[in-house]
Structure 1
Amino acid sequence: MRIVIAGAGEMGSHLAKMLSGNTHDITIIDSDPKLLADVAGAADVITVEGDSTTFAALRKASVRKCDLFIAVNHIENDNVVAAMLAKQLGAKKSIARIDNNEYLEPNNKEIFINMGIDYLFYPEKVAAQEVINLLGHTSTTEYVDFSNGRLSLVVFRLDATSSLIGQELFRAAEDGVELSYRTVAISRAGQTIIARSDEHFMEDDTVYIIARQDAVKEVMEFSGHTNVAIKNMMILGGSRIGVRIATELQEEMNIKLIDYNADKAYKLAEMLDKTLIINEDGRHIEAMLEENLNNMDAFVAVTGRSETNILASMFAKRMGVKKVIAEVENLDYIDLAESIGIDTIINKKLITASNIFRFTMATDVQAIKYLTGSEAEVLEFIVRPNSPATKASIKELRLPPDTIIGGVVRGDKVFIASGNMELHAYDRVVVFSMPQSISKIGYYFN
């Protein structure tokens, strides 16, 4: 696939690195030669120096021949203009990153479609929604719904009290007995292990389980942690993510939002009438204690600095806060953040990658989720008629060894996959896979 990326900043460079390793031809446009040089040194891409909102730069990048145009400039208006022009010049599909929720309202989205933009994505909104979802499942580190919640991926770290410790990962169905959940993988010491052997659970493993809706509560109990109702929450950082979380939840719980910028704090106080806004530096331990950090049920750090978010979250965890979530945009810091006990890490680059990657696949991918802290991804496919997946049982498909089918939704019925199961046309299939096999999986369902 020929892909053109407008914007060589953090988001654009991450996408270029990710997509260039999947047999795609990547061209990246930016007016900053240094950013282009950095990307070219890290990924196999063609660089075009210029303004992506101009016809000259777009033509130089051969947009008329591209299959996918992705606009991820820092300025929202530039993305809208670039994506619109690219589509008019011949790009088969054109998508743009935005920072304005108003654009996503149904009537407004139609206007952008008529302008030629196929898809708009707002990473901060998706990140905020992930946080809100996790606050309802405090014993998990990640929680992802598929097929409108009929199947869920539940992710948690094993506490010493977990009943799973010492048991085998792989749980096979007995004859005539349907499974309600299944472990698909674990992450241990930075390595992801697919559940295909006699590997046993160990303390501090991060466990990935696919479960039917009726089994989610049972699965969560395996973590050794109890679900906690969130009544008091502190948000560090008046970013778009922080504001959206507060806006959505301020009717349901007591929220304190901390921001060090006085002008921003005053503006936030006008916007969020039921959230207590505090103008303070979250790195000051005494100030945080004065604001009763130790009495909070949840702490969410979403400032623009990964270092600040990690340090503040580490302190919140030591103070006994039950659920701690941190935004860590520096990918090199994610393992560090998890190793010091932060419950959940969110990263806008990975969120954006999840939104965009499905556009690069020929198969009908309904959803794809990059899992923070793991090398793996989880995808939801629709099985097409007469595809290879319909012609043999799952165990006879010879899927790549680092790929596992977790669950299947067939009409109103939900199944946890087993080796003897046969897939039918139009089944929705949730697949857990390592990155190197993603491009191979589509063959089975296409």
Structure 2
Amino acid sequence: MKVVIAGAGAVGTHLSKLLSTEHHDCVLIDDDEDRLGGMDSNYDIMAVNASPTSIKTLKDAGVGSADLFVGVTRYESRNITACTLAHALGAKKTVARIDNYEYLSPQNLPFFHDLGIDSLVYPEVLAATDIINGLKLSWVRQRWDVHDGALVLLGIKLREGCEILNQPLKDLCGPDDPYHIVAIKRNNDTIIPGGMDELQLHDLAYFMTTSEYIPYIRKIVGKEHYEDVHNVIIMGGGKTAVRAALTMPDYMNAKIIEIDAARCERLNQLLASNDAMVIHGDGRDLGLLNEEGIRHTQAFVALTGNAETNILACLTAKKLGVRKTVAMVENLDYVSMAEGLDIGTIINKKTVAASHIFQMMMKADVRNMRSLMMVEADVAEFVAAEGSKVTRKPVKDLGLPFGITIGGLVRDGKGILVNGNTQITPGDSVMVFCHKHQLEKAEKYFKKSLLW
């Protein structure tokens, strides 16, 4: 598959590296030579030092034969222009990075489609959604709702008091049980488990369940004593913080600590209709944190542009008694370190955005996709096509490759946990979990085909 990417920033370079490991034909365009930084010599990528809104540049880059064009420069208007030109030149699909929330309104999507833009991605909105989902359940590291909670994915760190340790999963996750374990992170290893695998102390386990059984999951993992989140302190007043504050549930109270006075004034304007309190100061200042009630705060969210600062601030908050911490970690090299230090939820905007873009490359019908950084695994929502291989036999007879498992499906709006005897039918939305770089193997089971 051929992909042309405009913009060698954090999202563009991360996506380029990801595609190069998947052996796709990738072209990366940027008019700043320093931003390209030897990408073509270190990865199997064609780097083009030119303007991504130049028609000649786009033609020379082969946009006319591109399966996907991605506009992820720093400038929204440039991304929209580049995508419009790429579509006119023959690119099959286009996606543009934006920073105007208004554009995501459903009534505006046909307008952008008419311009030749198939999808819009706003990384800060995607990150804010992950943050809010994590705050809603203080005892969960990661939460992902499918079809408004018809199915729910919960990433949970297993501590003392967990009732389901050291037992074969076949005895825990039978056909009539209300959850499945779909992935496990143990030390540095990722496990897509089978029936004989067991959960161990300090595992990070991913549960697939339905919303009504969340209280039951909370009980069996021994998390009932965790206090629900009502008071939140956010360090850093960037776009992600704004989106998080604006989408926070009414029962949560937020304080945003921002070190830049001018930005504080802007935050007060942006949050004028919101109850969030903006405080000018340094979120690492223990005196300020105590003054603002850190000891009566259930969650601390660090969203500055510096990963080290965010990690250290979360560690400080934990020492002051905050149980739920969230850190923005843009440097992927720090992700494992943050987990090793027991930082609760880790947010990385570029991986969230890259997952959204990557799903557009799938030939099967993929409604949603997420890269689970902590477990080096991917989860995707595939829609089973008429005549696809996955609809022809019960799950146990499909011969799924090692490292791929099906956790659940949604049929007619109802979430159903999948077992070996489940028969998937056309139109089912199916949640598939797999090790990194195996999604294309899973995709083959969901594409429409007459020859198998």
TM-score category, normalised to shorter length: over 0.9
Distance 2:339 2:170 in 1: 25
Distance 1:253 1:430 in 2: 31
Matched, 1:224 2:225: no
Distance 1:342 1:128 in 2: 17
Partner of 1:340: 341
Contact 2:173 2:179 in 1 (8 A): no
Contact 1:167 1:201 in 2 (8 A): yes
The DSSP-based 3-state class of the residue aligned with 1:199 is coil
The DSSP-based 3-state class of the residue aligned with 1:436 is coil
The DSSP-based 3-state class of the residue aligned with 2:125 is helix
Partner of 1:34: 34
The offset of 1:203, in angstroms, is: 1.4
Partner of 2:256: 257
Instruction: Write the deviation string for residues 300-320 of structure 1: whole angstroms up to 9, x where unpaired.
Output: 111111111111011111111
Instruction: Write the deviation string for residues 46-76 of structure 1: whole angstroms up to 9, x where unpaired.
Output: 1111010111211121111111000111111
The DSSP-based 3-state class of the residue aligned with 1:398 is coil
Matches within 5 A, 1:349-360: 349-360=350-361
Distance 1:425 1:247 in 2: 38
Matches within 5 A, 1:349-428: 349-428=350-429
Task: Note closer, same or farther for the CA distance 1:248–1:416 as it changes in structure 2 (3 Å cut).
Answer: closer
CA RMSD of aligned residues (A): 1.7
Partner of 1:154: 154
Task: Note closer, same or farther for the CA distance 1:339–1:222 as it changes in structure 2 (3 Å cut).
Answer: farther
Distance 2:296 2:416 in 1: 42
Contact 1:6 1:52 in 2 (8 A): yes
The DSSP-based 3-state class of the residue aligned with 2:437 is helix
Distance 2:292 2:422 in 1: 55
Distance 2:295 2:437 in 1: 43
Contact 1:179 1:415 in 2 (8 A): no
Contact 1:171 1:183 in 2 (8 A): no
The offset of 1:195, in angstroms, is: 1.1
Distance 1:441 1:248 in 2: 34
The offset of 1:408, in angstroms, is: 2.1
Partner of 1:315: 316
Matches within 5 A, 1:325-336: 325-336=326-337
The offset of 1:251, in angstroms, is: 4.6
Task: Note closer, same or farther for the CA distance 1:189–1:238 as it changes in structure 2 (3 Å cut).
Answer: same
Matches within 5 A, 1:61-100: 61-100=61-100
Task: Note closer, same or farther for the CA distance 1:413–1:10 as it changes in structure 2 (3 Å cut).
Answer: closer
Matched, 1:246 2:279: no
Matched positions, count: 444
Which residue identity lines up with residue 187 of structure 2 in the other structure?
A
Of 205, 216, 227, the residue aligned with 1:207 is: 205
Segments of structure 1 that go 5 or more residues without pairing to the other structure are: none
Contact 2:372 2:378 in 1 (8 A): yes
Instruction: Write the deviation string for residues 107-150 of structure 1: whole angstroms up to 9, x where unpaired.
Output: 33322211111111101011111111221111110111113321
Partner of 2:142: 142
Distance 1:382 1:11 in 2: 27
Normalised to the residue count of structure 1, the TM-score between the two structures is 0.95
Task: Note closer, same or farther for the CA distance 1:38–1:224 as it changes in structure 2 (3 Å cut).
Answer: farther
Partner of 2:131: 131
The offset of 1:409, in angstroms, is: 2.2
Normalised to the residue count of structure 2, the TM-score between the two structures is 0.94
Partner of 2:291: 290
Distance 1:172 1:405 in 2: 17
Task: Note closer, same or farther for the CA distance 1:271–1:415 as it changes in structure 2 (3 Å cut).
Answer: closer
Partner of 2:196: 198
Distance 2:249 2:372 in 1: 28
Report the identity percentage: 38
The offset of 1:90, in angstroms, is: 1.1
The DSSP-based 3-state class of the residue aligned with 2:38 is helix
Distance 2:269 2:173 in 1: 56
